[in-house]
Structure 1
Amino acid sequence: MSGATSPRSCPNVMLFAAGFGTRMKALTQSCPKPMIPVAGRPLIDHTLQLAQAIQPQRIVANLHYLPQVLETHLTPKAVLLSHESPQVLDTGGGLRQALPLLGTDPVFTANTDVIWKGDNPFQVALNAWDPARMDALLVCIPISRCRGRTGSGDFTCDSEGRISRGGDLVYGGVQILKTEGLHRIEEEVFSLNLLWNDIASRDHLFAVEYPGHWCDVGHPEGITIAEDLIANDVV
């Protein structure tokens, strides 16, 4: 495994912020989900602060639903914006559209509707990233250390860190990803799951286990759960 990457060579960061937030119900009728307050700050700022801490050259966010609110908030923070119009492009299509802003090197992508408690997940990924073996490295959490999550996990990890579908590891929403394969996908609107499937077929899909705790804030109940996680020590 390679060591921590220096700030100068740190991958650029893509923040996913374009979704409608339908699981938040009434809370997102006039407010985009990333701007919902959690512990006194907009939800997106929790992830943005973690991304800024690794000092990437660029941070990009995609916008679609109620974009003016996010644009007003993010522009003063030096976040570059990728507007998706007339339709939202999902994670894969949104990332591909933003590549002119992100460049051709591997990038971080990050969901903005989660809370991390513990080490910086971006640094956890950097410490484990080995581009000679990996086309994607997902930061995953055992389901026993997840909050606000219903259902089963997403992945199983083998002894070398390769992952396959099904198991008790939950994808936390932060990854390092090589983007070349996006250009081979014909659909305009598509999930990054399509790229993961291609990468997994070549045995280049890996995970690193996050040592702390994590909370899904994609639904109203997750706000209280996340605020409790932030405020209290957990084991």
Structure 2
Amino acid sequence: MRDLSADRPKPMIAVAGRPLVDHALDQLAGVERLFANLHYLPAPLHAHLEPRGVETIHEVELLETGGGLKNALGRLDRDAVYTMNTDALWDGALAADVLAQAWDPARMDALLLVVAMDRTVGHLGSGDFSVGADGRLARGGSFVYTGAQIIRTAPVAAQAGAHFSLNAVWERIGAAGRLYGVAYPGRWADVGYPEAISLAEEMVGFHV
């Protein structure tokens, strides 16, 4: 986010009149216990989240997406958890609801919320996955990972090392045939760079 994050962490950048992190919290409505991993300029984010009942974990060094979740497992008392990135806006059903309705622990170790390319706004890359007829994911295809998922904690805990991407965990889960995806039925905006902010705001009908 370049200059926009010079004096604040990225999740505190305002989009559509509210910090990005608040849009993410909206998508997790109904989830009973929430945690946030903090690293860069943690104080303002901690001050913003604490009154909302969000527990925070300060990563002194960056552990990547998988390592950050593994580091938090000691404070989690569930065998499966939601994870969500904050650099997105959503237009449609709540992400947590879409995931919960599709989650089947008998078949799945991870369920990723993906979105078709033609439902994305501001996304500069290509697709990440294809979704099979049975819902299993394969690399490459026309679906983009939205940054939201349900994942079992055991495969994360079993991953070697302290610094690793969730991609490494997904590879192992996929090899066992237990990596699934569900398509988001609404629109999703990638707010990972400054020029995408106005596109995301237009998507949700926000006007200054």
So what's the TM-score if we normalise by structure 1?
0.86
Residue 76 of structure 1 aligns with an amino acid whose one-letter code is P
The answer as to 2:73 corresponding to 1:96 is: no
> Which residue of 91, 106, 117 maps to 2:91?
117
Tell me, yes or no, if the aligned pair for 1:115 and 1:226 is still in contact at 8 Å: yes
* Structure-2 separation of matches of 1:60 and 1:100: 12
Residue 185 of structure 2 aligns with an amino acid whose one-letter code is P
Q: Secondary structure at the match of 1:69?
A: helix
Give the structure 2 partner of residue 25 of structure 1: 2
* Structure-1 separation of matches of 2:35 and 2:76: 7
- List gaps (5 residues or longer) in structure 2: none
Give the structure 1 partner of residue 144 of structure 2: 170
Tell me, yes or no, if the aligned pair for 1:58 and 1:102 is still in contact at 8 Å: no
Residue 130 of structure 1 aligns with an amino acid whose one-letter code is D
Residue 84 of structure 1 aligns with an amino acid whose one-letter code is E
Deviation (angstroms), 1:194: 0.5
Deviation (angstroms), 1:35: 0.3
Give the structure 1 partner of residue 45 of structure 2: 70
Give the structure 1 partner of residue 154 of structure 2: 180
Q: 5 Å matches for 1:140-159?
A: 140-159=114-133
- List gaps (5 residues or longer) in structure 1: 1-23
Q: 5 Å matches for 1:1-235?
A: 24-51=1-28, 53=29, 55-85=30-60, 87-231=61-205
Deviation (angstroms), 1:184: 2.2
Query: Over residues 178-222 of structure 1, what are the superposed CA-to-partner deviations in whole Å (9 max), with x where a residue is unaligned?
Result: 010122222211110000000000010000011000000010011
Residue 8 of structure 2 aligns with an amino acid whose one-letter code is C
Tell me, yes or no, if the aligned pair for 2:136 and 2:177 is still in contact at 8 Å: yes
Tell me, yes or no, if the aligned pair for 2:119 and 2:187 is still in contact at 8 Å: yes
Residue 39 of structure 1 aligns with an amino acid whose one-letter code is A
Tell me, yes or no, if the aligned pair for 1:60 and 1:101 is still in contact at 8 Å: no
Query: Over residues 124-176 of structure 1, what are the superposed CA-to-partner deviations in whole Å (9 max), with x where a residue is unaligned?
Result: 00000000000000111000110111121000111100011000000011100
Which runs of at least 4 in structure 1 moved beyond 3 Å after TM superposition?
Answer: none
* Structure-1 separation of matches of 2:143 and 2:134: 15
* Structure-2 separation of matches of 1:186 and 1:135: 18
* Structure-2 separation of matches of 1:184 and 1:75: 30
* Structure-2 separation of matches of 1:104 and 1:45: 24
Deviation (angstroms), 1:66: 0.2
Residue 168 of structure 1 aligns with an amino acid whose one-letter code is S
Give the percent of matched residue pairs that are identical in Structure 1 and Structure 2: 48
- Note the aligned Cα RMSD (angstroms): 1.0
